[in-house]
Amino acid sequence: MTEEEANARPSAEWSPETPPAEAQAASDTPLATEAAPSDASAADGDGIAALERRVAELERELAKERDAATDYMNRWQHAQADFANYKRRAQQDQEQLQRAFAAEAARVILPAVDSFERAFATLPESLAGFTWIDGVALIQLQLQHTLDAAGVRPLAVAPGHAFDPARHEAIGEIETADHPASSVAAVVQRGYEIAGAVLRPALVQLARAPQPDAPVSAPTDNPTDNPLEAPAAATPSEAP
């Protein structure tokens, strides 16, 4: 402080009107006022730094929670996919089990169905009009409906169809020109399938091309041509 400023500054020394304590307070007041701005700026700087640290901390917590939420979502999606796969596998297993039970039941019924079919195929016409024959036919129809309800279907095979070793079982051949060689010529026993899988192959006979007749040689009048006829031996009377 210069001398001029000191002189211009009002004196705060003791006077009869001013007590010593008030004079001292008046002399210290300008100094406190000059130091206040520096303290306020320091306090503001500390507050801003604290706020920045708090914001950084909140951002780290937010990123952590976001990662945790993403992890929970991924786990939930995986669990949902696993459960859907489990339901599909369980349904497939149940369907396979039902087909297996139906196949075993059909294997027990099929021999009876075959017997009914053979019996009606050879039924004499004289018995066709009896009511008890109609009752037996009704039993056969009920067995067939039972197979249909279980998903058992007869294989589509007829004479002239191509032979399929996966669906047909050959038990012989028939010489015929009505069907191509090695094709189905006759169905001996029907086959059955369930859900596209062969339950029992059809027993069939295959067609075989007819063999040409062997040529017949013309008869001859020379007896010596016949090897079975030997020349007669000379008698003693004919001896010289």
Determine, yes or no, domain membership for 54: no
Q: Alpha helices of 130-206 — where are they, by DSSP H?
A: 131-149
- Residue 222 or residue 31, greater confidence: 222
Q: Is the pLDDT of residue 199 over 50?
A: yes
145 falls within a domain: no
**CATH code, domain carrying 161:** 2.30.22.10
- Does residue 134 form part of some domain? no
Asked if 193 contacts 155 with a C-beta cutoff of 8 angstroms, the reply is: yes
Q: Which H or E element spans position 6? A: helix 3-8
Asked whether the predicted pLDDT for residue 228 surpasses 90, the reply is no
What is this structure's pTM?
A: 0.54
141 within a domain of the structure (yes/no): no
Say what the pLDDT of residue 81 is. 92
Residue 158 has pLDDT above 80, yes or no: yes
Per-residue pLDDT, 209: 87
Question: How buried is residue 162: exposed, middle or buried, by Cβ count under 10 Å (0-12/13-18/19+)?
Answer: exposed
Q: Which amino acid is at 121?
A: A
Q: Is there a domain that residue 194 lies in?
A: yes
**Other CB atoms within 10 Å distance of the CB of residue 200:** 21
Dist CA 81 CA 71 (whole Å): 15
| 157, part of any domain | yes
Q: Which domain holds residue 160?
A: 151-209
**pLDDT at residue number 50:** 86
* Lowest mean pLDDT across 78-92, 146-160, 226-240: 226-240
Q: What is the pLDDT of residue 210?
A: 85
pLDDT in tens, 21-44: 444 544 554 444 454 556 667 677
Partner residues linked to 154 by β-bridges: 192
The confidence band for 154, taking pLDDT boundaries of 50, 70 and 90, is very high
Q: Tell me, what's the pLDDT at 172?
A: 92
Domain presence at residue 159: yes
Q: What mean pLDDT do residues 150-179 have? A: 91
Structure-model confidence comparison of residues 94 and 225, the more confident one = 94
Q: What mean pLDDT is reported for the chain?
A: 78
Residue 207 has pLDDT above 90, yes or no: yes
Burial class (CB in 10 A: 0-12, 13-18, 19+), 227: exposed
Instruction: Output 65 or 37, whichever has higher pLDDT.
Output: 65
Picking from 152, 31, 17, the residue whose alpha carbon sits closest to that of residue 98 is 152
Query: How many folded domains does the chain comprise?
Result: 1
Query: Is 42 within a domain?
Result: no
